[in-house]
C-alpha cells in the first residue's frame, strides 16, 4: 500500500496517551515545570506515561530520581518553594506511603503555615487500583489517607478526556494534588476517545453525570465507573433506571451534583474499590445523611473492597473487590427497601 493510500491514523486517544499529552503541553507552556520520579527519563516511566519527555525537555526538567519516595516528594516540595511547578511520579501509588510524612506534614500544610504567602504547586501522580492481578503491593487505592489531610486536593479520572483535562488543571491549580491514575485503564481500547486539538482543562471539584436515571443513584469514580455503567444496563433490563455519577474529584467534593440526583431518585449506592472501613464511600454516605437525608427513601448502601489486602489469585481478587453483580444486588436492595 502506498503512503498516499494508507488509512488515516485514528484520532482517538487512550487514557495513557492523554496523560502524556497533558504533561507535554504543560511543559511546553510552562518553562518552570519539572517532573521527578524513578525511571521516568530514559525508560519513560514503568508504564510509559513520560516516554519521550526527557529527550524533548532535558534531564534538568525530567529528572530520574533514586528509589526513595520520601526523597522524590521532599525534593518536589523544595523545588515548588522556589517557584517550580512539579509533577512527582510514584512508580506505583502503593509506595506513596514511603513519602507520607513529606506529603501530609510538609506539602499539605505549607500554604497554611506561611499564611498564604507560598504556594505549593506539586502534583503527586501514579498508577493505582486493582483488577489486574497485581496483588497486595501493586493494587491499592489509598485515596482516603489524603482526603483526610487538609490542604490536599485529590483527583481520580476515569476517561481519557478527563485524564488530560484534570492533570492540566491540577498542574495549574497552585495547590498540592494527589492524582490517581487507574492503571487498568491506561491502554483500554474500549474507552478511547477523541480529544480536542485546542487547549482545555476539566475544572477540579466538578462531578460528571455519566448516565441519567430516575430510580437509583450510583456514585463512584475511577475504574468502578465502568462497573456502575454495566450495572445500570443490567438494572434497566429489570425495569430499574440507574443514574451514574463520576465524582472525578474527591477533594473538593461536588455535593451539589450528588444531591441534585438524589432529588430525582431518592435512593443511592456508593461504590469504591478501597477497603470499607474509613473508605471514601463512607464519607460520601455521611455527607448525604448530614445534608440530604430528607431526600432518601431508603438507607444508603456502600459497595467496597472487603477489609483485606488485595489477593494475587484472580478468583480471590474478584471476591474481595466491587463488581457489576455486587452493584446490581445492592441497587435492587435499595430500591425494594
| Cα–Cα distance measured from residue 337 to residue 334, given in angstroms and rounded to the nearest whole number | 5
Q: In Å, how far are 147, 208, 218, 258 from 292, measured between CA atoms?
A: 21, 19, 15, 9
| Cα–Cα distance measured from residue 14 to residue 1, given in angstroms and rounded to the nearest whole number | 27
- Looking at 138, 148, 227, 267, which residue is catalytic? 138
Which residues is 211 bridged to in the sheet? Answer: 244
| Cα–Cα distance measured from residue 310 to residue 128, given in angstroms and rounded to the nearest whole number | 12
Say what the alpha-carbon torsion angle 269, 275, 279, 281 is, to the nearest 10 degrees.
Answer: -10
Is 227 tagged catalytic? no
Task: Classify residue 277 by burial, with Cβ atoms within 10 Å: 0-12, 13-18, 19+.
Answer: exposed
| Cα–Cα distance measured from residue 46 to residue 39, given in angstroms and rounded to the nearest whole number | 7
Catalytic residues: 138
Amino acid at each position: 500500500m502506498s503512503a498516499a493510500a494508507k488509512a488515516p491514523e485514528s484520532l482517538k486517544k487512550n487514557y495513557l496517551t492523554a496523560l502524556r499529552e497533558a504533561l507535554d503541553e504543560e511543559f511546553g507552556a510552562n518553562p518552570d515545570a519539572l517532573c521527578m520520579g524513578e525511571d521516568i527519563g530514559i525508560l519513560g516511566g514503568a508504564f510509559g506515561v513520560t516516554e519521550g519527555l526527557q529527550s524533548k525537555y532535558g534531564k534538568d526538567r525530567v529528572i530520574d530520581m533514586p528509589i526513595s519516595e520520601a526523597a522524590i516528594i521532599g525534593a518536589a516540595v523544595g523545588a515548588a518553594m522556589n517557584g517550580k511547578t512539579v509533577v512527582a511520579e510514584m512508580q506505583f501509588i502503593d509506595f506513596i506511603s514511603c513519602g507520607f510524612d513529606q506529603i501530609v506534614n510538609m506539602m499539605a500544610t505549607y500554604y497554611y503555615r506561611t499564611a498564604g504567602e507560598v504556594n505549593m504547586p506539586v502534583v503527586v501522580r501514579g498508577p493505582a487500583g486493582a483488577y489486574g492481578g497485581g496483588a497486595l503491593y501493586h493494587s491499592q487505592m489509598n485515596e482516603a489517607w489524603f482526603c483526610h489531610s487538609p490542604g490536599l486536593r485529590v483527583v481520580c479520572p476515569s476517561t481519557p478526556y478527563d485524564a488530560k483535562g484534570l492533570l492540566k488543571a491540577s498542574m495549574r491549580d497552585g495547590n498540592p494534588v494527589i492524582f490517581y491514575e487507574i492503571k487498568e485503564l491506561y491502554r483500554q481500547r474500549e474507552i478511547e476517545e477523541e480529544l480536542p486539538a485546542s487547549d482545555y482543562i476539566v475544572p477540579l471539584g466538578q462531578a460528571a453525570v455519566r448516565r441519567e436515571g430516575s430510580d437509583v443513584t450510583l456514585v463512584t469514580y475511577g475504574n468502578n465507573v465502568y462497573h456502575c455503567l454495566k450495572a445500570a444496563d443490567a438494572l434497566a433490563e429489570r425495569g430499574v433506571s440507574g443514574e451514574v455519577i463520576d465524582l472525578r474529584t474527591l477533594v473538593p467534593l461536588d455535593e451539589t451534583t450528588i444531591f441534585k440526583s438524589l432529588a430525582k431518585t431518592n435512593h443511592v449506592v456508593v461504590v469504591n474499590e478501597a477497603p470499607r472501613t474509613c473508605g471514601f464511600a463512607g464519607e460520601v454516605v455521611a455527607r448525604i445523611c448530614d445534608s440530604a437525608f430528607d431526600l432518601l427513601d431508603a438507607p444508603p448502601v456502600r459497595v467496597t473492597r472487603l477489609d483485606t489486602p488485595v489477593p494475587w489469585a484472580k478468583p480471590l481478587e474478584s471476591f474481595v473487590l466491587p463488581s457489576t453483580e455486587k452493584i446490581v444486588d445492592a441497587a435492587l436492595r435499595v430500591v425494594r427497601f
